[in-house]
Structure 1
Amino acid sequence: MTLPVHRSLAGQAVDALRELVLTGEIPPGARVNEVEVAARLGISRGPLREAIRQLASENLLVLVAHRGAHVPAATPEDVRALFELRTALECAAAELAASRRTDADVARLREVCAESRRTYQAGERFPYRLDLAFHQALLDAARSPHIAEQVRLVQQRVVLLRSGLRDDPPHQHASLDDHDALVDAVAAGDPGRASAAMRTHLARVCAQMLAEN
C-alpha cells in the first residue's frame, strides 16, 4: 500500500490503517501486528501508534495496555445496539434531506446509486466506499453537520463488522434497490416516505448481519 502525499505522515497513517481495518485485511478479532503493519505501510512505529490511538478513539480498534491493539468482534447485542442508533440518526437525516434537497443533491445521489450498481454488476464485491458515499450524499442533502458527524462514526463501526461477512448477492441487490427507493422519496420531497425507506433499508442490513453473526 502506498501512502498519499497530500497529508501529514500522521494523517496518512490513520487513513491507511483505517483502510486495512474497514476492508477486513485486519479482520475482526485479529491483533494489529505493529512490526508487520509498519513495514507494510513503510512508516515507523511512532506514526503507526498515533494512528492506532486515533482509531481506538473511533471504536475501530480496542487498545489494551501492555497487550497492543486488536480489531473488535461484535456480538448480536452489539449489532442491534448499533442499528438502533443508526436508525434513529439516519431516519432523521432522510427526513431532513427530503425537506432540504436541491437538484444538485438529487443528481449526486442518483450518480452514486448508478456507480454502485455498475461496480457490483461488474463483479466486484459491494464496495464499502460507494456505500459510504451514498449515505454521505444523503447527509450532505440533509445539511445537519452534527447528525452527519455522529452517523459517520456509527457507519464506520457497521462497515467494520460487515467486513468479515461473505458476499450475499440477493441482499446486495436488495440494498441497491433500497437506495434507489430512498432517492426517489428524497427527490419527491416526501420526508415520511424517505424515513420509511431508510428504516426498511437499515432493518434489512441489520437482519443480514445478525443472520451471519
Structure 2
Amino acid sequence: MTPPLHLSLAGQAVDVLRELVLTGEIPPGTRINEVELAARLGISRGPLREAIRHLASEGVLILVPHRGAHVPTATPADVQALFELRAALECAAAELAASRRTEADIVVLREVCAESRRTYHAGERFPYRLDLAFHQALLAAARSPRIAEQVRLVQQRVVLLRSGLRDDPPHQHASLDDHDALVTAVAAGDPVKAAEVMRRHLARVCSQMLTGLTAAARESAD
C-alpha cells in the first residue's frame, strides 16, 4: 500500500521545497536543478519529482515537459488576476466570519495581530507566515472549508510572487492596521464593514505589488 503523500518522502520534500520557494531562497525565475536539490534534501530524484509535480499542481512551480520545472515570475496580469479571485473569496469569508465568529475566534485573531506587531517593531523582515496566520484565523472564524481551501492556494501564489519584491515597511505597517480594522468589524458582528475593510486591504496590497513589479523592472533594465 502506498503511504499518503504527507507521510512519504515526497510529502516531506513538498513541505521543504514549498518553504524554499515561498521564502525566496529559490528565487522566481530559477530553474529547479533536480540533481543538486535531491542531494541537498538527502532523497532520490523519484520522490523529488513527485514533490515537484504536486507543487506544480498548486501553481507554486511551472513544470514544462522535457524541460523541467522552474519558479514562476510575476507579471502585472498575474497579480491582477490573483487579486480579483482573492477579493471574491476573502470578502465573502470576511462577511461569514463576522456572522459566525465566536469569542474564541476573536481571541485568536487578536493574538495573531499582537504577535505580528511585535515582530514588525522588532525590525525583522516581516514573516509571510504571520500574514497567512491572520488570514487563516479569519477563515477559521468563517467556517467555510471550501472557501478556505481555495483561499490557501491563492494566498500561496501571492506569497510566491511577492517573494521576489523588496520589503516595503510603510506597506507592512498599513497591512497591520488593516488587520486590526478587520478584527474590529468581525468582533462587532458587522459583515458589511468586514467585507469593505477586506476589499480595501486587498486593493492596496495589489497596488503595492504592481508598484513593486514596476520598480523591479526598471532596476533590471538599468
- When normalised by structure 2's length, the TM-score is 0.92
Q: Does 1:40 align with 2:59?
A: no
Please list the CA deviations of residues 108-131 of structure 1 after superposition, one character each: whole Å capped at 9, or x if unmatched.
011111111111211211111111
Residues 107-122 of structure 1 mapped to structure 2, 5 A cutoff = 107-122=107-122
**Partner residue in 1 for 2:219:** none
Q: Does 1:63 align with 2:63?
A: yes
| Farther off after superposition, 40-49 or 57-66 | 40-49
**Distance across 1 between alignment mates of 2:140 and 2:154:** 16
**Partner residue in 2 for 1:75:** 75
**Partner residue in 2 for 1:171:** 171
**Partner residue in 1 for 2:218:** none
Residues 18-33 of structure 1 mapped to structure 2, 5 A cutoff = 18-33=18-33
**Partner residue in 1 for 2:152:** 152
Runs of 4+ in 1 over 6 A off after TM superposition: none
The number of residues matched between the two structures is 208
**Partner residue in 2 for 1:89:** 89
SS of match in other structure, 2:155: helix
Gaps of 5+ in 2: 1-5, 214-222
Deviation, structure 1 residue 78:
0.9
Please list the CA deviations of residues 116-175 of structure 1 after superposition, one character each: whole Å capped at 9, or x if unmatched.
111121121111111111100000000001100110110000000000111111000000
Please list the CA deviations of residues 85-111 of structure 1 after superposition, one character each: whole Å capped at 9, or x if unmatched.
000000000000000000000000111
Counterpart residue identity of residue 37, structure 1: L
Counterpart residue identity of residue 90, structure 2: E
**Partner residue in 2 for 1:3:** none
- Provide the aligned C-alpha RMSD in A: 1.0
**Partner residue in 1 for 2:3:** none
- When normalised by structure 1's length, the TM-score is 0.95
Deviation, structure 1 residue 194:
0.3
Deviation, structure 1 residue 47:
1.0
